[in-house]
Chains A and B, each alone.
Chain A
Amino acid sequence: MTDGLTRVPEASGFRNRDDYAAALLNVVGDLSQEKSRLEELQRASLNILEDFAGEKVRFEETQRAMLNLLDDFASEREKSEAANRGLRVALESLRLAKEDVDSANRELEAFAYSVSHDLRAPLRTIGGFSQVLVEDCDAQLNEQGRDSLHRIVAAVEKMGQLIDDLLNLSRVTRVEMLRGPVDLTRMARKIFEEFRKFHPERQAEIVVADDLVGQGDERLLSVVLRNLIDNAWKFTSQREKARIEFGAAPAGGGQAFFFKDNGTGFDMAFAGKLFQPFQRLHTMRDFPGTGIGLATVKRIIERHGGRVWIEARPGQGATVYFTLAGEPEEREVR
């Protein structure tokens, strides 16, 4: 074998064996270098493969975890979709309920509108022609005829007032509320001023506290103030010197506004139903009215999430308290 190796092949071009052997050694050396390089490469490859295998395991783990996550997610999604569906159903029935309320409101609105027109038409005729008699036929009437006529005119006025008050009562529960800070001091002073102008003959001491601000709907709150001032003014009408106060007092953590008068008052034993329509404690002759004012006040205050109550003593006057605290709209939803 050695011979075979050391024999110089004919066509090799090497001049002698030594040259050939040297060249051969070179080649072998090259080869062994190649080999160790290859081995290194192989080791490196193996390392890489190993790393890769580790990576792969880790990758597979990640994949599994992700699949799990996806699974969880899918079931979560199913759950939340079910919840969503539930929510949608609830919203839909809420919407339907609101539509019902809206259409009931529209119906009420139409009803109130036609009451105000149709009920009033014959009343207007009675009043109008009674007026014709008063103005044009007075000379032909005797005392009894004149008296009857005046009673008719008064009754027509009363019924007109009743229709107005009832419509107003139904309206305050229907109108949209716009909440905001309302300057009650200014509002009350303005209304008192109107009453003074209307009855310049009356002696009344009016005390309105400064800086009374309520949260609520300006128009509705002015209906409240107007009704309470109207009562205080009316039920002090027989006082030599009437005194009416509008102020605020602490009540149950918040504040209560109050109208206090020194008027005729009443016995609290009968106060029970005062906030229902048509309930009155005084005679028409002494103190005329329709008995709808306090009911209207109560509805408005309740829409504001507040409370209203009255305290009185016969002959000593009355105090009406009301609060505006709370957000009734939100409370209803919960």
Chain B
Amino acid sequence: MKAKSILLVEDNPDDVVLTMRALAKSHVANSVDLAGDGVEALEYLFCTGKYAGRDPCLLPQVILLDLKMPRMDGLEVLRRIRADEKTRLLPVVILTTSSEERDKVESYKLGANSYIRKPVDFAQFAESVRQLGLYWLVLNEAP
């Protein structure tokens, strides 16, 4: 069975590079799909717009979600994910830039599962994976 993908929702190309690198360092074998902002993320998840041809059954294993993005921010994306029966239970890790508690509180209220301060590094990613119980995400070289 092909492993489900990871959906990275991030608008900053520098952060995309750094996150990809952290994932590679964590030996994640899953493929990573990228959505450039919140609107694109919803199109991906609900197979509309740019992703109209996608198989709607293929939901990602986990979503890494940036908060501050143009058009639609991460909190709104999270709200919509939690509001839809189909995506309600998807694990969501919030990527944030500050320790502002507001982010934390608000995203937890909306049902974020975990949360990483950018730049995403190996240690934080491993901790989130552990919190989420997604050990099997880290495939290569894992015992």
Contacts and interface: CB of A to CB of B under 8 A. Distances in A.
B7 to A, nearest CB: 21
A124 B98 contact: no
B98 A129 contact: no
Interface in A107-145: 112-113, 116-117, 120-121, 124-125, 127-129, 131-132
Nearest to B118: A124
B97 interface: yes
Secondary structure at the A interface, as helix, strand, loop or mixed, is: helix
Given A117-B68, A124-B118, A124-B119, A132 B98 contact: no
A129 B15 CA distance: 10
Interface string B60-104: 000000011000000000000000000000000000011110100
A124 B15 contact: yes
Nearest to B21: A132
A164 interface: yes
A121 B97 contact: yes
Interface in A147-201: 163-164, 167
B98 A121 contact: no
Contacts of B99: 164
Interface in B22-39: none
Q: How large is the interface on B (under 10, 10 to 19, 20 to 34, 35 or more residues)?
A: 10 to 19
A121 B12 contact: yes
B46 to A, nearest CB: 27
B101 to A, nearest CB: 9
Interface residues of A, number: 16
Contacts of A127: 119
Contact of B97 (A112, A117, A129, A131): A117
B8 to A, nearest CB: 15
A113 B104 CA distance: 13
Contacts of A117: 67-68, 97-98
A128 B14 contact: yes
A112 B119 CA distance: 20
Given A116-B98, A121-B97, A128 B68 contact: no
A116 B14 contact: no
A308 B119 CA distance: 38
Contacts of B15: 121, 124-125, 128
A113 B14 contact: no
Contacts of B67: 117
B132 interface: no
B3 interface: no
B100 A120 contact: no
Interface string A198-214: 00000000000000000
A129 B68 contact: no
Interface string B110-143: 0000000011010000000000000000000000
Contacts of A113: 100, 102
Interface of B: 12, 14-15, 18, 21, 67-68, 97-100, 102, 118-119, 121
13 contacts: A117-B68, A117-B98, A121-B12, A124-B14, A124-B15, A125-B15, A125-B18, A131-B119, A131-B121, A132-B18, A132-B21, A163-B98, A167-B100
Given A117-B67, A117-B68, 19 more contacts: A113-B100, A113-B102, A116-B97, A116-B100, A117-B98, A120-B97, A121-B97, A124-B97, A124-B119, A125-B12, A125-B15, A128-B14, A128-B18, A129-B14, A129-B18, A131-B119, A132-B21, A163-B98, A164-B98
Interface of A: 112-113, 116-117, 120-121, 124-125, 127-129, 131-132, 163-164, 167
